[in-house]
Structure 1
Amino acid sequence: MNYLIVGASRGLGDAFVKGLPEKGDHVWMVSRNQPDSINIQDGVLRTWIEADLSLKSSIQHIAEALKNEPIDVLIYNAGIWEKEGWQSHYDFEKDDPEDIVNILHVNTTAAILCTQKLLPNLKKSKNAKVFLIGSTDGIENNGSKQLSYVASKFGIRGIASALRENLRNYEIGVTCINPGSIATGIPFEKGVEKALEHYNGRCIPVQDIVSLVKAITLLSKASCVKEINMPAMMDMNV
């Protein structure tokens, strides 16, 4: 199976790179910085594509690196947010206009451009799947004050909805996953129990999201999983 993972160098993207492929699979990893996972010796071929998604030229660079290779699973996991967005003192009025534009470009516009450019590669697969990673901050009544980030994650849901209709005739599945807080501080190889112990149910182990994506990739093209909201069990704000 061939995977393309955008935003693959750390956190959830790193977990996808480590947990999704099996021996003999090929994973293209898109990120600004070289992922440490490229050195793993487990029978999976991993190829790094250096790309800064804030630059429009990055999409063409990704397509040129793939050439005519079929893509079975495309995961758009790139995401940035306001510099102090998670802090209690965050103030939208102080957001830099350039940062606002960049957040919306990387989180939404680049997702559209990337999928559009790689559609020929997806069409070559016998059972292609597209995953757009959103957030519970992109669903109603989320309580977040981060205007640009929230707007971009609402946007990802809209992209998934319209993209699904565009790709229906090609039988390419499009799934939007909206996770809550993720235990990105505990890497995939440390295991679920370590994450549960450390975060006490307040954050989702990366393994859970990897397992969810893997299950959907194994479905036939007759099935369509549209959207999944996945808050942490102890997140009382969702």
Structure 2
Amino acid sequence: MKNFIIFGASKGLGQAFAKGLPDKGDSVWIVSRSCPESLIFKDGVNRYWIEADLSKSDTSNRISKALDGVRLDVLIYNVGIWESKGFREGYDFENDDPEEIAKIIQVNVTSVITCIQKLLLNLKKSDNAKIILIGSTAGLENNQLTQISFVASKFGLRGIGNSLREHVKKYGISVTCINPGEIATQIAYEEGIEKVLSTYKGTQIPLQDIVSLVKCIINLSKASCVKEVNIPAMFDTDA
């Protein structure tokens, strides 16, 4: 039986992870601000909610206390906020609010570091622990995006993964950074791949593809470490 902790699992991709990754008998701790609907599922998976605001500096301590030393086999950090007017026509970096910039860096970068730091003791108790960071193709070179704070945070996540991987190697813990393009979060996980394919014609990635990729990684033996995966949509014009 595996124990998971999934950050940002109340909706979208994180919710798909909470539904699609665990098997009967597994336990999942869901970290989010809002209550996840997956808590009501009756599928033999034990799901627990840790209410947390990752923009607050003391959140990592609260999460660690909530887990109370439990063994963790899989940690997934699936959180990424961006500029409130980003990815819209007319967006201008020069109008970004400094407080919003600071919040983006706190949630997308600082919180990753502090939360994983506090949970390493839990991960060390596993004989094949996996840390998976969900980045973005926005964090890759030549992305042509102008959302500076978001892009910087996703570049930073890759740097976190690289250095963290070296630190935890001695404990047999693997670290993977997955950089997806645009994901079809508007279509619920239960509605299936075919609806995504017919709706978006290869311009957005089905949730099921990312869930399948993560499932493959967490089922690898401790002899393997997938460092980084870039997965744009087939017809993503920004990738």
Q: For residue 125 of structure 1, report the CA deviation from its aligned partner.
A: 0.5
Query: Is 1:87 aligned with 2:85?
Result: no
Matched positions, count:
238
Counterpart-to-counterpart distance in 2, 1:66 and 1:237: 40
Q: Show the counterpart of 1:55.
A: 56
Residues 62-141 of structure 1 aligned to structure 2 (within 5 Å): 62-141=63-142
Q: Show the counterpart of 2:43.
A: 42
Query: Is 1:230 aligned with 2:231?
Result: yes
Q: For residue 236 of structure 1, report the CA deviation from its aligned partner.
A: 2.1
Q: Show the counterpart of 1:13.
A: 14
What's the secondary structure of 1:163's corresponding residue? Answer: helix
Counterpart-to-counterpart distance in 1, 2:17 and 2:97: 32
Letter in 2 for 1:130: I
Q: Show the counterpart of 2:156.
A: 155
What's the secondary structure of 2:76's corresponding residue? Answer: strand
Query: Is 1:190 aligned with 2:163?
Result: no
Counterpart-to-counterpart distance in 1, 2:195 and 2:18: 19
1:48-106 per-residue CA deviation (whole Å, 9 max, x = no partner) reads 00000000111111101101110000000011000010102100000000000000110
Scaled by the length of structure 1, what TM-score is found? 0.99
Counterpart-to-counterpart distance in 1, 2:153 and 2:195: 31
Q: Show the counterpart of 1:176.
A: 177
Letter in 2 for 1:167: V
1:148-203 per-residue CA deviation (whole Å, 9 max, x = no partner) reads 00000000000000000000000100000000000000111111111111111110
- Unaligned residue ranges in structure 1 (runs of 5+): none
Letter in 1 for 2:180: P
- Using the aligned pairs only, state the percent identity: 61
Q: Show the counterpart of 2:25.
A: 24
Counterpart-to-counterpart distance in 1, 2:236 and 2:13: 19
1:5-38 per-residue CA deviation (whole Å, 9 max, x = no partner) reads 0001011000000000010000000000001111
- Unaligned residue ranges in structure 2 (runs of 5+): none
Letter in 2 for 1:89: G
Aligned-residue Cα RMSD (Å) equals 0.6
Counterpart-to-counterpart distance in 2, 1:236 and 1:94: 26
Counterpart-to-counterpart distance in 2, 1:19 and 1:149: 27
